[in-house]
């Protein structure tokens, strides 16, 4: 048995995506199992640690990792842009963005709670109570200013 660099799944993925080999029966199940993508911060930290192990100073390692991360992100955006163009040419709906910004992800998670404040009876009751309190405060202030003159 010969020594093979990289794991079988990665090699098979490259061959299947390059259309050099049909997808084997076990491929889809393995893709789902190993579909975990670590967060970018962890990938960045791993790369910095790898570079530090090779003897690079920490500041330089962070700069290199940052440049690599930026280049990778730019390449992903370009790939998605090309996918959208292909979909438009074929008359299909473009695929959803697989690399959304962190801000948009957080907003999507919070959307439920933002809508909830307009329809939840408990929240509406609290809002009405606050409006009444403010109205009473303004009336008291107007009455007090009218007495002072």
Residue 1, pLDDT score: 40
Supply 82's token pair: 């090309």
Give the number of other CB atoms < 10 A from CB of residue 141: 10
Residue 141 CA, chain-centre distance (Å), reads 49
Identify the band that residue 104 occupies on the pLDDT scale cut at 50, 70 and 90. Answer: confident
CB 47 within 8 Å of CB 63: no
pTM of the model: 0.45
Identify the band that residue 31 occupies on the pLDDT scale cut at 50, 70 and 90. Answer: low
23 contacts: CB under 8 Å, gap ≥ 6 = 16
Secondary structure of residue 112 in the 3-state scheme? helix
Measured distance CA(43)–CA(21) in Å, rounded: 30
73-89 tens-digit pLDDT: 888 888 888 888 998 99
Residue 124, pLDDT score: 87
């Amino acid at each position: 048995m010969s020594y093979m660099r990289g794991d079988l799944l990665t090699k098979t993925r490259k061959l299947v995506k390059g259309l050099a080999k049909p997808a084997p029966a076990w491929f889809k199940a393995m893709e789902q199992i190993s579909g975990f993508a670590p967060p970018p911060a962890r990938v960045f930290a791993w790369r910095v640690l790898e570079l530090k192990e090779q003897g690079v100073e920490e500041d330089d390692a962070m700069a290199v990792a940052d440049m690599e991360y930026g280049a990778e992100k730019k390449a992903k955006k370009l790939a998605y842009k090309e996918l959208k163009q292909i979909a438009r040419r074929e008359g299909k709906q473009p695929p959803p963005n697989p690399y959304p910004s962190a801000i948009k992800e957080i907003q999507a998670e919070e959307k439920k709670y933002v809508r909830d404040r307009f329809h939840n009876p408990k929240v509406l009751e609290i809002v009405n109570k606050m409006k009444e309190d403010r109205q009473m405060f303004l009336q008291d202030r107007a009455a007090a200013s009218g007495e002072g003159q």
